[in-house]
């Protein structure tokens, strides 16, 4: 048991208590951020005249050595320390002697851990944002490629109206752009430095909080020391943004799983991203898409857990907050992994445009356009809706599509129909005439793709 406290205690900590209390097993994940924070703190202490230049240099060299040795594997972070903060301080004192005992001047583990968690979360946010960027670029490429790839659009999972693959992927593009924006918003709000807040009430040392904030890349210091040590809002915000990202990936996965099935065959997932069955030799399963969909649950779990942990905590620091780490770290890793795998899978998918197009051609996806045709020929929309409903019923009985129905039959149901009905309800017309911004028509899609191109330049 290696602890930073113990002076006022007369008994050894019970071993079970020690194990229950210790966080080294998981807070070792931010060893680098912990040491970066300590180095900034030491530089500031020297600039404020609290440490001598010599002490500063000795401590900095000591911490750099520890960091190097941990990274090259020659120094192992073991469970004999209570947490990462104790490990670094004890190792430092071990290596450089008394100067190391001054590291914690004007600091508490409360502002230290608040800083470490924020630095780590900021790094993870940045890493997740760059995975998201790659995915956005993949969607952008696919959109450019598939402006003319027709497919059915669905509501209630029933064929509704024809659109294009570019348009369908464009829907996810919008979701991912919003996700990207959410991460940026969170970054802007969270990027203030809690270091120097002490245990809860600041310190009596003349700490230069602006300086440490600047050294660590923050916009400035946080403004209330109690809030600083007990704020985990940014973790909750980040977990909710990550939950939304997972929800989007999960919806996309669900469609890929459906479209990859024998019933749809709109696409085929690459062999490198599929798995086989131990018993059925013919099988090629979309396990990656299913796993991404499945892992959404654990990210939601992290969000729910964090909200619940923070609920009802009195100010300022409480040990409950140590529970902010394990599930949050797991969520960060999960989202990073899922984004990378999903992007790899999407990039290597083979689409089957002929099958998609054929699917768009049946199922009466042009029924709305037939009704619109009547409206353009003077029939009120509600009547047109009823007329086309009867046409569809007729076609269903004869097992034909609207395109195959003879003109006499059309005219028997409504004399408003003329020879040009066939052109009006052709797949090409149905898609190409829909050119209001946001619609699947190629002119509209070109405009949106140009807007996205600019968005990518301006934002990423």
Q: What is the largest CA-CA distance in the chain?
A: 101
Rounded to whole angstroms, what are the CA distances from 424 to 120, 194, 227, 310?
58, 64, 64, 59
Tell me how far, at minimum, the Cβ of 329 lies from ligand ARG, in Å.
12
The DSSP call for residue 435 is -
User: Residue 315 CB, nearest distance to ligand ARG (Å)?
Assistant: 14
Our CB check for ligand ARG shows the closer of 87 and 317 to be 317
| The one catalytic residue among 134, 146, 156, 352 | 156
Site residues, ligand ARG (CB under 6 A): 23, 27, 83, 109-110, 113, 317, 319, 321-322
Sign of CA dihedral 190, 192, 193, 199: negative
Between CA 412 and CA 400 the distance in angstroms is 17
- Using DSSP's 3-state secondary structure scheme, residue 155 falls into strand
Closest distance to ligand ARG from the beta carbon of 319 (Å): 6
CA-based nearest residue to 175, from 223, 224, 215, 136? 136
The answer to whether 234 and 118 have CB atoms below 8 angstroms apart is yes
Rounded to 10°, the helix 84-96/53-71 angle is 120
Nearest partner of 272 among 346, 335, 337, 333, judged by Cα: 346
- Of 317, 420, 407, the C-alpha closest to 372 is 420
Instruction: Write down the H helix ranges in 315-376.
Output: 326-348, 353-361, 367-376
For residue 156, indicate whether it is catalytic. yes
User: Strand 158-164 relative to strand 150-155: parallel, antiparallel, unpaired?
Assistant: antiparallel
Q: What angle do CA 379, 383, 387 make, to 5 degrees?
A: 100
Q: Is the dihedral of CA 336, 338, 343, 348 positive or negative?
A: positive
Phi, psi (deg, nearest 5) at residue 164: -125, 165
Q: Nearest to residue 309, comparing CAs of 321, 318, 299, 301?
A: 321
Closer residue to ligand ARG, CB minimum distance, 322 or 362: 322
Minimum separation from the CB atom of position 232 to ligand ARG (A)? 10
Closest residue by beta carbon to ligand ARG: 322
Query: Of 23, 240, 277, 305, which is the active-site residue?
Result: 277
Pairing of strands 220-221, 192-193: parallel
Distance CA 197, CA 307 (A): 24
Give the tokens for residue 54. Answer: 């010599």
DSSP state of 210: H
Task: Report strand pairing: 220-221 vs 267-268.
Answer: unpaired
Considering the complex, what minimum distance in angstroms separates the CB of residue 116 from ligand ARG? 8
Nearer to ligand ARG, 77 or 113 (CB): 113
Task: Find the length of the chain.
Answer: 460
CB of 246 to ligand ARG, least distance (A): 25
Residue 325 C-beta: closest distance to ligand ARG, Å: 6
C-alpha radius of gyration, the chain, whole number: 31
Mind telling me the catalytic residues? 156, 277
């Amino acid at each position: 048991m290696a602890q930073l406290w113990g002076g006022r205690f007369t008994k050894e900590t019970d071993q079970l208590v020690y194990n229950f209390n210790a966080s080294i097993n998981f807070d070792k994940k931010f060893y680098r951020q912990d040491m970066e924070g300590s180095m900034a703190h030491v530089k500031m202490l020297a600039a404020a005249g609290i440490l001598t230049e010599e002490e500063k240099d000795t401590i900095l060299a000591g911490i750099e050595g520890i960091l190097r040795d941990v990274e090259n594997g020659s120094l192992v972070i073991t469970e004999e320390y209570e947490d990462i903060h104790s490990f670094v301080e004890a190792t430092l004192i071990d290596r450089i002697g008394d100067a190391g005992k001054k590291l914690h001047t004007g600091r508490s583990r409360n502002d230290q851990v608040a800083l470490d968690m924020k630095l780590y979360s900021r790094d993870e946010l940045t890493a997740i944002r760059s995975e998201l960027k790659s995915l956005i670029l993949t969607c952008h490429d696919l959109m450019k490629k598939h402006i003319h790839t027709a497919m059915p659009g669905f509501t209630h999972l029933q064929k509704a109206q024809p659109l294009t693959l570019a348009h369908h992927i464009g829907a996810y593009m919008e979701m991912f752009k919003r996700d990207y924006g959410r991460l940026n918003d969170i970054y802007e709000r969270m990027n203030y430095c809690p270091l120097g807040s002490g245990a809860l009430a600041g310190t009596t040392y003349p700490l230069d909080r602006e300086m440490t904030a600047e050294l660590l890349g923050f916009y400035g210091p946080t403004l209330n020391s109690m809030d600083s040590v007990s704020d985990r809002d940014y973790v909750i915000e980040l977990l909710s943004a990550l939950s939304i990202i997972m929800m989007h990936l999960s919806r996309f996965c669900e469609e890929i799983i459906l479209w990859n099935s024998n019933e749809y065959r709109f696409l085929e997932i690459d062999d490198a991203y599929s798995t086989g069955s131990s018993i059925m030799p013919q099988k090629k399963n979309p396990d990656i898409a299913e796993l991404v969909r499945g892992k959404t649950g654990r990210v939601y779990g992290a969000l729910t857990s964090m909200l619940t942990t923070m609920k009802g905590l009195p100010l300022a620091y409480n040990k409950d907050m140590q529970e902010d780490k394990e599930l949050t770290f797991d969520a960060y890793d999960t989202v990073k992994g899922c984004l990378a795998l999903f992007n790899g899978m999407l990039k290597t998918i083979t689409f089957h445009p002929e099958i998609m197009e054929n699917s768009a051609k049946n199922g009466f996806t042009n029924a709305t356009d037939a009704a619109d045709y009547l409206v353009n020929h003077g029939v009120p929309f509600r009547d047109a809706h009823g007329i086309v409903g009867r046409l569809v019923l007729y076609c269903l009985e004869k097992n034909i599509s609207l395109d195959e129905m003879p003109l006499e039959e059309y005219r028997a149901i409504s004399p408003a129909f003329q020879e040009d009905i066939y052109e009006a309800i052709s797949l090409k017309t149905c898609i190409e005439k829909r050119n209001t911004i946001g619609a699947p028509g190629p002119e509209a899609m070109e405009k949106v793709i140009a807007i996205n191109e600019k968005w990518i330049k301006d934002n990423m």
